[in-house]
A and B are shown apart, each in its own frame.
Chain A
Amino acid sequence: MPATGFDDVWVVIPVYNEAAVFASVLADVTGTFGHVCVVDDCSTDGSAAIAQEFAGRGVRLVRHPFNLGQGAALQTGLEYVLGDPLMRRVITFDADGQHHVADAVAMVERLDASGATPAGPAGQASSRPGLDVVLGSRFLGGGKGEMGGAKRLVLKAAIAYTNLVVGMKLTDTHNGLRAMNRRAVAALHITQNGMAHATEILEQVKRANLAYVEHKVKISYSPYAKAKGQSLLNAINILVDLVLR
């Protein structure tokens, strides 16, 4: 049984063809969190069936009728969990085993789960405003992030560009591990179906004036994740999506 204390937490996991590692990822996540929304993007390798096997452990499966992309899957998951009136906090988590539950726990615990508007009229003069969004970063505090040189170069360029576009100063802008409270979830409307959604999320965080912070996380680059991850060429697609919209 998952630990209590997280009954208001939902983990949203977009998945596309990760059958090789998905069962162990779900076993990990359900060991700690009792509410998991898997958004299957029409996988063809049985990833959805794996999610079904975890139905008894709090995993809810939402299936796109055809492949729409990771951004679209995230938005679907966010809308699904908004349907739970008890939801106060959400974690977005990758299905490929690159993220760690311990990081997710630490991040979600930093959130303000009260659901109240910040600096509410009641004027609960709390010394620091609660956090709406906690963003995972593999580079915070100077980490190198365990990846190959070429990938790091492209990623660093993407991070610099994204910071420029959204007007933030983040150390990592393309990290799928995030924690947010209900207020933040309700403020997000991801329209970039593909990978450009990472930038879009940040833009909306900024526009909605959400309180955010980065949190150091470990991203594992197993041979599996390395082989499957975004190809460097796809960075061009993401750039075009961002410029031409």
Chain B
Amino acid sequence: MLIKVVLILAVAVVSLFMLRGHGARRQALRRLGLLAFAAVAVVSIIFPDLLTAVAQKINVGRGADLLLYVLIVVFFSYVASRYVRDRRADQRVTALARRLALSEAPPPRGALPAAGPEPQTGLAGGPTPEAP
């Protein structure tokens, strides 16, 4: 069935589209897409038969099926873009945590503060959830 090919291609294209680039242009396009999605949703609510008519035109069968397919595409692209954004956030958090860790670490060479057991002062350990 042609529609299956089309939908699978749509999944690939939309997710690639969401994955790549993140400028203001891309964001604007994403928002336009969302707006279009909302418009279609509203229209299909007002004219429920329209959805079925369209579905039958493209050989999907019922309007509900079409709706499901579209939702799958949207959901998948959301997951993909979420993944990329999470990874970017992770990298920022990592950089921050690393700076903190390095700034609290003792110097690589030379005397440590005093001899014997380490004087555990202030921040040295940070918030450390020791096992109970």
Contact = CB atoms under 8 A, between A and B. Distances in A.
Nearest to A191: B91
Given A44-B129, A48-B125, A191-B91, A60 B106 contact: yes
A146 B98 CA distance: 35
B107 to A, nearest CB: 8
A66 B101 CA distance: 10
Interface in B66-111: 83, 87, 90-91, 94, 97-98, 100-102, 104-109
Nearest to B91: A191
Interface residues of A, number: 34
Interface of A: 10, 35, 37, 39, 42, 44-46, 48, 52, 55-56, 60-66, 68, 72, 75-76, 79-81, 83-84, 86-87, 191, 193, 244-245
A65 to B, nearest CB: 5
A45 B131 contact: yes
Q: Size class of B's contact patch?
A: 20 to 34
B131 A35 contact: no
Contacts of B130: 44, 46
B115 interface: yes
Contact of B108 (A64, A72, A83, A244): A83
Contacts of A193: 90, 94
Given A48-B128, A80-B105, A65 B83 contact: no
B109 A42 contact: no
Interface string B112-132: 100110101000011111110
Contacts of A62: 101-102, 105
Residue among A37, A42, A60, A65 with most chain B CB within 10 A: A65
